[in-house]
Structures are given as C-alpha cells and as structure tokens.
Amino acid sequence: MRILVLAASKRVAFLMRRTCFAVALALLVLPLFAADDKPPTAAQALELARKWADAQRSYEEIPGMSIAIVHDQKLLWSGGSGLADLASARAATADTLYSICSVSKLFTSVAVMQLRDEGKLSLDDPLSKHLSWFTMKPAEGGRGDDRRRAHALVGTAA
C-alpha cells in the first residue's frame, strides 16, 4: 500500500510541475500576443524561444545547455542557459564545449548506412578502400588491414 501512495504522490507532483510549467509558459507568451493580432516580430519569436528553452532546461533539471537558432543556414541567435560546470558555477554560453561521448558513432553509422543504401560503398569493403590514409597495425592473431567498415560500426575493429 505504501508503494502505491508513493507512486501516486510522485504522479501528483509530476502533474503539478507540468501544470506550473504550462502556466509559466503561458504567462511568458501572452504578452507577446497582446491586444493587436499582428504576428510576432523575429525579435519577439527569438525571445520566446530563449525563454522556452530556459524553462525546459529548468523543468527537465538539465544543469546547462547551449542553444543556436538557425534559419535558412543563417544563425539568428545563439546563447547558453544554466551552468556548464556545476563545481565552478561556470555559466553555459554559445561557445561552451561539451563532451559528446559516443554520440558521434550514431551520426557516423547513419551516414555510412545512407552511403550503403545509395550504393556508394559496401559494409564488406576494407576501411582502407575509402580512407586511403587509414592503416592499422596487425593485432596479435594477424588481423590488420582487413578491417571492414561493419567492424568499425559495431566496435569490433580492434
């Protein structure tokens, strides 16, 4: 019974946070669309996006983030929200560098699979066929230049 009460109280807390967030966002948005029915200016829209991102960061309990708004390959706005480093309380900015860990593997894998689908490469090709500068010393057991793109994508190229 106690577990159900905790789950229910967490659900209520979640719904209350969500409602408070929606009300706060509405209070931020309503002044932008005051009595005149004109569409918002670019500056107003960018300010709304900045406030929305900051509210989302706070709501999702994200310590800090950097944001860029781009339209038609043109940077309209960039900035940061929250902290880049909690220990030193350094603010996040548009220039903050973040560790992306293994996320780059996802982008590389998607690009390679798209090239495969277009018939521009095969997953069975040796890496050196497309990366002529790539060489790898043979590991114990003799495997060296026979590394395949598929091995690299799934992390078995060692």
Residues 19-53 pLDDT 10s: 656 666 666 666 665 556 677 788 888 888 888 88
Domain hosting residue 19, numbered range: 2-91
Q: Does residue 60 sit in the same domain as residue 109?
A: no
Q: Does residue 68 sit in the same domain as residue 143?
A: no
Residues 91-124 pLDDT 10s: 999 999 888 877 888 888 888 889 999 999 888 8
Q: Of 68, 91, 114, at which residue does a domain stop?
A: 91
Q: For residue 96, tell me if it sits in a domain.
A: no
Q: For residue 61, tell me if it sits in a domain.
A: yes
DSSP symbol at 148? B
Q: How far apart are CA 140 and CA 99, in angstroms?
A: 32
For strand 90-91 and strand 64-71, is the pairing parallel, antiparallel, or unpaired? unpaired
Q: Does residue 69 sit in the same domain as residue 107?
A: no
Q: Cα 53 to chain center, whole Å? A: 13
The per-residue pLDDT for 89 is 93
